[in-house]
């Protein structure tokens, strides 16, 4: 078991990639706090883990709220006696319009969830990770954090920011045995891409725009997250791992 004895928090744990990672972490022996803004889907992830014989609980958390993030981290460390892994995964997309047409409110919301939410997670988790002797933080960026895409200005900016925030935190907290890495998924089969799937013109192009010519599954991303969370990645920090079927090279 690759995460035996470890305690993990997953934000956005009710969704595709977060849920797949939660299940994979549980299979490898971690005890997990699932958090999400949506209670039903978060509770469902907990049920899935319990059916596998794993240990988990749910805490409704909006990653833009410092109070809720602080509570989540305190409750987890209090319940399980420490904290070793934080998967900062919650995120949203936005209306596909030119940057000049994007509403300021939508820009703020995307930056708040996708970028500030990651920083808040790091800010409040680091003291607990230090108390536990170190640990691993994995932040969800995107292929679109590494290259620009028309009509996704706030998403591009937020996910690019996650990559440099990851490098910054790796530098600041490495001395406490805390590793901080990012993943950069390509097109992955979750609800966040439903609007593309329904676009008859775009979908045939988007769904094959990588070296492998197919989209990825949340489980394939979860394998990469598990690796970065585990001691197998003990000398990897500040890195961004692409899980995109070769989308960046395409």
Ligand X SMILES: NC(=O)c1ccc[n+]([C@@H]2O[C@H](COP(=O)([O-])OP(=O)(O)OC[C@H]3O[C@@H](n4cnc5c(N)ncnc54)[C@H](O)[C@@H]3O)[C@@H](O)[C@H]2O)c1
Q: What radius of gyration, in Å, describes the C-alpha atoms of the chain?
A: 17
Q: How far is the CB of 27 from ligand X (least distance, A)?
A: 18
Does 11 bind ligand X (CB under 6 A)? Our answer is yes
Q: Which of residues 78-117 bind ligand X (CB under 6 A)?
A: 89-92, 113
Q: Give the number of C-alpha atoms closer than 13 A to the C-alpha of residue 178, restricted to the C-beta side.
A: 26
How many Cβ atoms are within 10 Å of 106's Cβ, its own excluded?
14
**Token pair of 185 as six digits:** 């998924």
CA atoms of 38 and 122, how far apart (whole Å): 22
Does 234 bind ligand X (CB under 6 A)? Our answer is no
The interface region with ligand X, picked from 1-9, 10-18, 128-136, 206-214 by CB under 6 A, is 10-18
3-state class (DSSP) for residue 150? coil
Does 185 bind ligand X (CB under 6 A)? Our answer is yes
3-state class (DSSP) for residue 168? helix
Residue 115 · residue 94 · CB < 8 Å: no
**Token pair of 120 as six digits:** 């808040």
Closer to ligand X at the Cβ: 15 or 160? Answer: 15
Does 160 bind ligand X (CB under 6 A)? Our answer is no
What angle in degrees, to the nearest 10, is found between the helix axes of 153-173 and 104-111?
30
Q: How far is the CB of 82 from ligand X (least distance, A)?
A: 23
Instruction: Reply yes or no on whether 80 is catalytic.
Output: no
Closer to ligand X at the Cβ: 114 or 230? Answer: 114
Closer to ligand X at the Cβ: 132 or 216? Answer: 216
CA atoms of 232 and 160, how far apart (whole Å): 26
Does 247 bind ligand X (CB under 6 A)? Our answer is no
Asked whether the CA dihedral 94, 100, 106, 112 is positive or negative, the reply is positive
> What number of chain residues touch ligand X (CB under 6 A)?
29
Q: Give the number of C-alpha atoms closer than 13 A to the C-alpha of residue 7, restricted to the C-beta side.
A: 22
Among 7, 17, 170, 224, binds ligand X (CB under 6 A): 17
Which entry of 71, 80, 151, 155 is annotated as an active-site residue?
A: 155
Q: How far is the CB of 177 from ligand X (least distance, A)?
A: 26
Q: Which of residues 189-228 bind ligand X (CB under 6 A)?
A: 190-193
Could you list the active site residues?
A: 155
Site residues (vs ligand X, CB under 6 A): 11-12, 14-18, 36-38, 41, 61-64, 89-92, 113, 140, 142, 185, 187-188, 190-193
């Amino acid at each position: 078991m690759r995460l035996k004895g470890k305690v993990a928090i997953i934000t956005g744990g009710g969704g595709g990639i977060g849920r797949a990672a939660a299940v994979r972490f549980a299979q490898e022996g971690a005890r997990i706090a699932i958090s999400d803004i949506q209670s039903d889907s978060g509770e469902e992830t907990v049920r899935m883990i319990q059916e596998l014989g794993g240990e988990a609980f749910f805490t409704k958390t909006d990653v833009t709220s410092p109070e809720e993030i602080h509570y989540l981290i305190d409750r987890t460390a209090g319940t399980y006696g420490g904290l070793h892994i934080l998967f900062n995964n919650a995120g949203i997309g936005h209306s596909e319009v030119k940057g000049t047409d994007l509403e300021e409110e939508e820009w703020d919301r995307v930056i708040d969830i996708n970028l500030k939410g990651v920083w808040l997670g790091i800010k409040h988790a680091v003291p607990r990770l230090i108390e536990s002797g170190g640990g691993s933080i994995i932040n969800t960026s995107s292929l679109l954090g590494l290259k620009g895409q028309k009509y996704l200005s706030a998403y591009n900016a937020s996910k690019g920011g996650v990559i440099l925030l990851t490098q910054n935190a790796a530098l600041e907290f490495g001395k406490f045995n805390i590793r901080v890495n990012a993943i950069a998924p390509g097109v992955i089969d979750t609800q966040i891409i439903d609007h593309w799937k329904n676009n008859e013109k775009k979908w045939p192009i988007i769904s094959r725009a990588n070296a492998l010519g197919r989209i990825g599954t949340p489980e394939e991303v979860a394998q990469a997250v598990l690796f970065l969370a585990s001691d197998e990645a003990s000398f990897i920090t500040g890195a961004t791992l692409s899980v995109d079927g070769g989308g960046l090279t395409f």
